[in-house]
Structure formats: structure tokens, C-alpha cells
Structure 1
Amino acid sequence: MANNNKKSPLNKNIKAPKFNFYWIYGIIFVLILGYQFLNSGNLSTKKLSENEFRTILKDNDISKIEIVNKDIADIYIKAKSLDKEKFKKDKNSFYNSSMPLYSYDFGDLQNFEKGLNTARTADNLDFDTRNVEKTNFLDQIFVYLPFIFLIGLWIYFMRRMSGGAGGGGGQIFSIGKSKAKLFDKDQEVKTSFKDVAGLEGAKEEVQEIVDFLKNPGKYTSLGGKIPKGALLVGPPGTGKTLLAKAVAGEAHVPFFSLSGSDFVEMFVGVGASRVRDLFKQAQQKAPSIIFIDEIDAVGRSRGKNNMTGGNDERENTLNQLLTEMDGFGTDSNVIVIAATNRADILDKALLRAGRFDRQIYVDLPDLRERKAIFKVHIKPLKMHKDVDLDFLAQQTPGFSGADIANLCNEAALIAARKAKKAVHHQDFLDAVDRIVGGLEKKNKIISPKEKKTIAYHEAGHATASWMLEHAAPLVKVTIVPRGQSLGAAWYLPEERQIVQSEQMLDEMCATLAGRASEQLMFNKISTGALNDLEKVTKQARAMVAVYGLNKKVGNLTYYDSSGQSDYTFTKPYSEKTAQIIDEEISKIIETQYLRALDILSKNKDKLTILAELLLEKEVIFKKDLETIFGKRPFEADELPKEVPVKDEKTDETANNS
């Protein structure tokens, strides 16, 4: 027996079919085909030529002529004439006497009627003639068909832009709806603070936000109010988005996640509408969190571009965002978290207290934090016991969390390429070289003379850095081309919070020792020191014009921390001061260059041994320098451990110029 109960268990999974707008497109297509078919004549009507029409007319076989819409003549044949041989082949089984057997396109109506009257009188014909007006529904449809097509095309693009698929028409008008992805109890985020290594200060700040959402009474009982927003600021790859994911995983409240660019649309008013819809949804699900990644896409300062004016769509979206954030009640329990690496370009109204009450700076990780990040990212890897995380943390200064994740993945790929069963320590070192220096180019064509110059250049860097107290100790020197450099030296500099003049001068001296070595050994200099010269020029200019470390210029700085000033065409000092700055920069650089020459001259024999060893092995390490130079004169029993790597490069572009 059939089950006709719609509410029965058998029918509970049966869903009513959704209305599909593609049916409209199909109907339009069928109408077009039908119109073309019917206009080409139906199955029982044949078009007559002029000679055929005159023959039938003269034989008095026509019973009636209907002039339809003053355009075409429908020809009806007498019943007694249909049995004639000439008409039998034009009849079919669907034909009846009430239908015209033929149609005739007569051209000019006045001439046609005149010809009919003449023929009727001359040949004594007895056919009837009448004018009729017929309205074809398809003709009317065809008149409006272009408009129907344009409306259908508009609907199609609106569905595409609003994320609609092939079925269903409910999303046509959802273009103004928020595109935020909701994470709640049905779609829980599994990331927690345990997955975020380092960032201790930032985690402490956001943990308080999470604690407020879980236990609001703990704070409101003392008269405190909910913080309305927190802005995560920091360099790319430092973990701002990851931190927001951890907040979502820890808070266990509805979490709306989207990018700043999701508000921006080509249609006027769409961005502001999406902002309103987003905050409306968040308030309905309060307590909740809204996370806006890359908020600078919509939060850029207003009035910076005079071409757009006040009607700019992005500015309208920002105005709505400001209004919504400032309109929260203290009991709404909705917090906005945003992330950006361009806080300097954000609108000041967005940064004020009451909108983003807190700005949390997410900085690059230090030595201890890098080690913790390594521990997180090596969990899925098959590690060999020789991996030294302390040394890897030392070798990666300036690496962000994303860089370290990439480094671990690169090490695994290198180990797999070499068909190893586990990732060894050397694989990590190779990955560091690959990321910092670029891909090795062992088969690059370099002449013996150029190779010797590069070897002495890099040996000069190594020698000077070994003999200078504040220069970073060497880890490795290579003359194998890598990336855009023809040679490189890796160091382990100390992680300093402040730098003194002596330290900067020693670093500049070691950097210039590459060119000084070429001058000393060959009495010639090359273009290979471009990278070195660029570095020391920036350091010297910073000493004089930024840090106030030059006695002649004095305790002045011409640095603008806001980043708003452009010194390309205008300088914040006079021409006389500019001349003094240039002279002092040149003096500092030349002094350190002569100092490098003096150090290398005193150790010329050891410099030669080191360069020849480098030519032989192509890669040398710290132990080779200890064999040649002995212990560093000012070195303690053990090198400091909080030290990572940076490199000095011999510039390939300059060498090829």
C-alpha cells in the first residue's frame, strides 16, 4: 500500500524541489525556436510563388483570400477543387477545409487588391476577399524578448556575485548580506593557545578577552566594561590570524571571520549593507566575536585621495563600520578583533578608544620564542635524534612564525629528495641556506679569475669578523653561487635590543673587509661589493641622521616614526646640514675601510691560507677558522648562545654589469 502521508518517516528526507532560474532561460530558448518555426510556416501551409498564385487564381480554384495584417494572403481552396491532381501533393492528413492551404507574400497591398479586382472582372471569378487582423502571442513575446534576455542576464550575474549556484533563486538579493564565515558549536575551531608558540604578551592580552566572554560578571561586578575591540598589529607572518583562530577555539562562542576586502564591492552601498548585516548577526548571537583580517583594505585613512571624494564606496563602508562599532551597548558582549600589518595607514577614528580599545603588537619572535615555534612545527615530521633546536633557533634571526613553518617543510622536502627515512639536522641547515641565500647554482659558469676574486672577498669578510670584538662570529663561508649572490658568509650575531657605536662600526668594518681584501691582494676592486656598500651606507646614514651618534651633527634625528613625511623632494634640514651629513657619512665609511685594510694587512698570510682553502673546498666552517687563526683574542671560554644568522653577499648583478 502506498504511503501518502507527507509527514511519515519515509518522506522526512524528501525535500521539495527548489525553483531553478535556469528553467526561465530554457523557456526563453524554446520560445525563440517556436517563433522561428511558426514564422517559417506550419505543416499545412505552403508559400506560393507569383506564377503559381496567378495559375490557381485564373483556374478559379480559390474560394477565399484573407489578407492578414495587410502583410500576407492566406489562400483557401474550394472543396471541389481539392480533388485535382495538382493539389493532392500539397495536402496532408492534418489539413481541413477551414485552414488555408497556401500563403502568398504579395508585396504592395494596393497593387495586390487592384490586381484581384481586375482578375475577378476579366475572368468572372467568384472568390471572396477580406482583411483580417491576427495577433500572435509569440510575436508579442518576441517584442519583449530583448528585455527578458537582459533581465535574465542581470539575474545571472547577481547570483554569481552573491555566491549563488545553479539551483535556487533565494540568493539573488543576498549581495548585500555579510560574507563572514560563522564558527559556532556546529563548526567548532580546534585551534587553541597551545598551538600558538611564543607571542606570550599578545596571548596574555587576548586571553583576558576570552576570559571576559566566559565570565563577564567577574569584570562587570567591579564596574568594568567590555572592551569593544582589539587590533593585532605586526609584520606579516607573525601569527596574527593564528592568534585570532586560537581565540575562536578557546572562547567557545560564535566567531564571525572575514577579510576586509569582503566588504568592498563595485556596487554602491553594498559594503555598508554588509557591515550592517554582519553586526546584526553578531548581536543576535551575542556573546560573540567578529574577526576582520587585513582591515586596512577597508579602514584606510579618509581624505587621502582627492580624486574619489566623499562618495567613495570604501569610505562609505568605513563610515558604517565606525558607526556600528561605536553603537554597541555595554551589555551586547560582542568584541571586534582585527589584524593588519599597515597600522600606519588606518583612519584615526578607527583607532580611537571606544572602537579599538587595545592595540596588541605581535612582534617577530626572539630566540626563545623561535625555539618554541620550532617545537610546534616539527611535530608532524619524522625527526632524527641529531636535530639541535637550540642551534636552529640561533640560525634564524628575523624569521617569523610563517618563515619557520616554511623552513620545517623545506627541510622535510630536502630529506625526501635525498631518500632519507628521517629529517636530519643538516637538512634543516640546507633549508636555511635555501631560504636565506637562494637555490645553489653549482654549474654556473665562473672563470678561475672571478672565482679567486670571490674567494678572497669572502675570506676578507671572515678574517675581519674573526678579529673584531663586536663583529658577529662566523658560521660558514661559501663561494658556491646561490640565488643572486656569487658567494656568501653566514654569521651568528647577538640579538641586541640596543646597539652602541662601537658595535655598528665593527660591523661596518667587517662588511667593508671584502672590498679591502680585493684591494690588498690584487690592487684592484670589483663591482662585487655592491651589497656591502649599500649596507654600510645605510648604517652610516642611520648613525648620523637617525640615531644621533655623530658628534659633528649632534644629538639630532631626522627620523619620522609616523611614516607620514616624504623626504624625496624636501629635506627636514638645510643645505648646509645636508653637506655636513654627507661628509660625515663618507668619513665614517672611509675610516672603517682603512681600518679593514689595516687588519687584513696584519693577517695577510692567514688571509691567503683561508682564501686558498676556500678555493679548494668551496665551503668552510668555523672550525677551519679556528685552525688557521686560533681562538678569537677577546673570546670567552664559550660563545654566547643567544645568537642567530645573517649573511653578507657578493652581488651577482654588479659583477655582471
Structure 2
Amino acid sequence: MDNQVLSFSVSRPLHLHSARLLLTNNQIARSFTFQRHCTNVENLVESITGYDSRSWKQCAPKKGMLYFGPIKCVWAVLFALFVTLKTILQSKKKEPRNVSFDELVGVDATIKKIRHIIPILQGKSEAKKFGAELPDGLMLYGPQGTGKTTLVHALAREAGVSFFPISAHDMAKDDTGSIGIDTLFIEARAYSPSIVLIEDVDVIARKGRCESDPSLRQLDLEIESCNKDGSMVMVIVTPIKPETLDSASMRSCRFFKKVHMGLPDEDSRRKITGVHLNMVAREEDKEAICNLVASRTHGLVWDDIKSIAVDSKIFALSRGDDHVTMDDVLNALGMLNDSDD
């Protein structure tokens, strides 16, 4: 059987620096190399596949080619496709929600505290001119339902950077443990500048949790070192109360910039009601409806107000009307009060 030549390059999204495949023919081990054609993400596949990148860089046969039969050519191509597919499927990179700061209501003060991060992530010249540095991290804390996650999505969208959201609940359930966390940060550094959002970090970092937890120790280590190699990775955690975090286990968070997202005030509740009911309330009723909801919803969060708006629309539809009236809103408020009892 005639020998054939295989020589090809692998480009993004595989991101291989190089990869060595061992083939055996008549008990003789041979190897060939997939040559690199990528940016600075060569460590990504090493972490996902478990192959040592140092072994990838070993010399292949002369001129990077190996002569072998057509069947082995097919296996080589299948191997490359398998690694490519595995890399894509295990990627933690996501698209942020299609929301901007301008669309967020009642959080102007909070936006003002974090807006300066955008030009730093973007590497704008004015940020460099004034020596502005990326904070060690951001701790965005406050009650559930106040819009912390939505605000971070808007920040990623405004900055136009790669986004890596993950829930601490998933970390706690993830069988890969510290390996999964290591992979997450390797990919985030590879796509620098980027934002890593860790939601509900209280789940794994609350006081009383065992400090020997490998996932927690790996997370703390990655946060501390994520920007030391010249990368720009902004880590954002969203606990409910920062004092519930175990300072011994999460030493890296001690230097985070802390920003509070509190319950919406009356004016904010009035604005968000207008956003939800603007298209379905009659013009002459809008102001009265917004004032009513704002005055009756002290201590409630955005999700509660959204529920009131949804229930109001349902009551209107049940009457066969396309417009929400004051009575519909009162019925919706009554349902909310009944559910609290």
C-alpha cells in the first residue's frame, strides 16, 4: 500500500498550540504534529483534554510530516474533529443579555459607581493616560431580585468584552471541581479582556464552609492570580451580604471594590411600573397607576413589580380588554398581598 502524506493546520476555535498524536505500526511508535494557527489560547485545550502542552511541543518527524496509510489519515482527522467539538461544547463563554445601561431604571447611582470600569477593559487611551487600573474585582451585593445579574450583563454588553457567567450552585454540583474552575479562568484569560461573573458566591464561600474544599481553594487562587500575567479579567461576585462570606476561604475578595444594590425607592418603583405598563395602560390612567403601585410596594424588588404588571395584564385580558385599568392593578396588588400571608 502506498504511503501518503498528511499535513494540515488547525485554526480557531480549536486554538491548539500544537498537538502530538502517537501511532503504532509494527510495534514502532511514530508521531506527527498539528501545527499552530491561533492566538494566545494555547493552554485552553491542554486543560480540557488533559494533555501536557510540553509534550505537544516535542519535535515531530522531519519537516513536521509523517508518511502513513490512508486509514490512519482518517483517524487523525477524526481525532482533530473530536478535540475541536469537545472544546466548543465545554466553553464557558456566553453572550451577555441584550440590555444596556440606558434600559435599566432606578439604578443610576449604582451604574455611576461602575461605569469607569468600561474604558479600562476596552484599553482606551484616556484610561491609560490617567493610570487607571482595573480593580482587583467587584463585589456587587444586595437582596435577591434587585437586578445585580442584569446589571453585570449590561456592563459586559456596554464594554463589548468576552463574558463568562457561572453560578456557584453549578460549581457546587460540578463533578470536575477545581478542574472546571481552572478551565474557566484559563479560557477567560485567553479571551482577555473579559468579565467572569460568579453568581450566588455565598453558596460555596459562606462562613462555616470547610476551608479544605478544593473547589473553593482553587477559586480563591484563580481570582488572586487572574491578572498577573498581563491579562485583563474582571471578576464580579454577587453575594446577598458580604459579611456572610468566609474571609479565610475567600481572601482574594478582601480587596474587591464593594458596590451595594439596595431595594428600589418609591421613585424607582414608579419608573419601573411605567416601563412594564406603558404600552397597555390608557394615557389618562398611566400616572395614577404608577403612583398607586409605587405607594403600595415598599420593600418589594423588581421581580415583584414585574409580577404585578403581568397579573394586571391577565386581569385585563380576562375582561376582554386590551388596556389595563386601575381595578386590574388593584386586583394584582391584592393577589400579591394574599401570597404573602
The TM tier, using the shorter chain, reads: 0.5 to 0.7
- Take 2:251 and 2:107, find their aligned partners in 1: how far apart are those partners? 24
Contact 1:415–1:424 (CA<8 Å) still a contact in 2?
Answer: yes
What is aligned with 2:140? 232
Shift of the 252–350 alpha-carbon distance from structure 1 to 2, 3 Å rule, reads: farther
- Take 1:405 and 1:310, find their aligned partners in 2: how far apart are those partners? 40
What is aligned with 2:189? 283
- Take 1:216 and 1:352, find their aligned partners in 2: how far apart are those partners? 30
Shift of the 310–374 alpha-carbon distance from structure 1 to 2, 3 Å rule, reads: closer
Pick the aligned partner of 2:218 from 297, 312, 320: 320
What is aligned with 1:329? 227
Identity between Structure 1 and Structure 2 (%): 27
Mapping for residues 182-261 of structure 1, pairs under 5 Å: 182-183=94-95, 189-261=97-169
Pick the aligned partner of 2:295 from 394, 415, 421: 394
- Take 1:179 and 1:215, find their aligned partners in 2: how far apart are those partners? 25
User: Bigger radius of gyration, 1 or 2?
Assistant: 1
Q: Normalized against structure 1, the TM-score is what?
A: 0.36
- Take 2:147 and 2:170, find their aligned partners in 1: how far apart are those partners? 21
Contact 1:325–1:355 (CA<8 Å) still a contact in 2?
Answer: no
User: Aligned partner of 1:180: which letter?
Assistant: K
User: Aligned partner of 1:407: which letter?
Assistant: I
Pick the aligned partner of 1:419 from 290, 305, 320: 320
Contact 1:322–1:349 (CA<8 Å) still a contact in 2?
Answer: no
Contact 2:223–2:252 (CA<8 Å) still a contact in 1?
Answer: no
- Take 2:256 and 2:277, find their aligned partners in 1: how far apart are those partners? 36
Residues 388-419 of structure 1 deviation map (CA, whole Å, 9 limit, x = unaligned): 21232112111111111111111101111122
- Take 2:129 and 2:254, find their aligned partners in 1: how far apart are those partners? 22
- Take 2:332 and 2:272, find their aligned partners in 1: how far apart are those partners? 16
Cα deviation, residue 327, structure 1: 0.8
- Take 1:223 and 1:409, find their aligned partners in 2: how far apart are those partners? 47
Contact 1:178–1:275 (CA<8 Å) still a contact in 2?
Answer: no
Contact 1:192–1:247 (CA<8 Å) still a contact in 2?
Answer: yes
Contact 2:211–2:248 (CA<8 Å) still a contact in 1?
Answer: no
Cα deviation, residue 263, structure 1: 1.9
What is aligned with 1:369? 268
User: Aligned partner of 1:182: which letter?
Assistant: K
- Take 2:295 and 2:211, find their aligned partners in 1: how far apart are those partners? 51
Shift of the 355–422 alpha-carbon distance from structure 1 to 2, 3 Å rule, reads: same
Q: Normalized against structure 2, the TM-score is what?
A: 0.67
Pick the aligned partner of 1:298 from 196, 200, 204: 204
Pick the aligned partner of 1:436 from 331, 337, 341: 337
User: Aligned partner of 2:159: which letter?
Assistant: A
User: Are 1:180 and 2:92 counterparts?
Assistant: yes
SS of the aligned residue for 2:197 comes to strand
Cα deviation, residue 317, structure 1: 0.8
Contact 2:220–2:250 (CA<8 Å) still a contact in 1?
Answer: no
Contact 2:220–2:252 (CA<8 Å) still a contact in 1?
Answer: no
For structure 1, the residue ranges without an aligned partner over 5 or more in a row are 1-167, 439-482, 485-657
Shift of the 355–325 alpha-carbon distance from structure 1 to 2, 3 Å rule, reads: farther
SS of the aligned residue for 2:234 comes to strand
- Take 1:178 and 1:263, find their aligned partners in 2: how far apart are those partners? 14
Cα deviation, residue 215, structure 1: 4.1
Alignment coverage as a number of residue pairs: 256
Higher-RCO chain (CA-CA 8 Å, sequence separation at least 6): 2
Moved over 4 A (4+): 168-171, 349-356
User: Aligned partner of 2:92: which letter?
Assistant: A
User: Aligned partner of 1:399: which letter?
Assistant: L
SS of the aligned residue for 1:232 comes to strand
- Take 1:361 and 1:178, find their aligned partners in 2: how far apart are those partners? 33
Cα deviation, residue 230, structure 1: 0.6
User: Aligned partner of 1:297: which letter?
Assistant: V
- Take 2:271 and 2:174, find their aligned partners in 1: how far apart are those partners? 44
Mapping for residues 21-32 of structure 1, pairs under 5 Å: none
SS of the aligned residue for 2:140 comes to strand
User: Are 1:274 and 2:180 counterparts?
Assistant: yes
Contact 2:92–2:164 (CA<8 Å) still a contact in 1?
Answer: yes
SS of the aligned residue for 1:348 comes to coil
Residues 54-90 of structure 1 deviation map (CA, whole Å, 9 limit, x = unaligned): xxxxxxxxxxxxxxxxxxxxxxxxxxxxxxxxxxxxx
Contact 1:295–1:338 (CA<8 Å) still a contact in 2?
Answer: yes
Contact 1:179–1:274 (CA<8 Å) still a contact in 2?
Answer: no
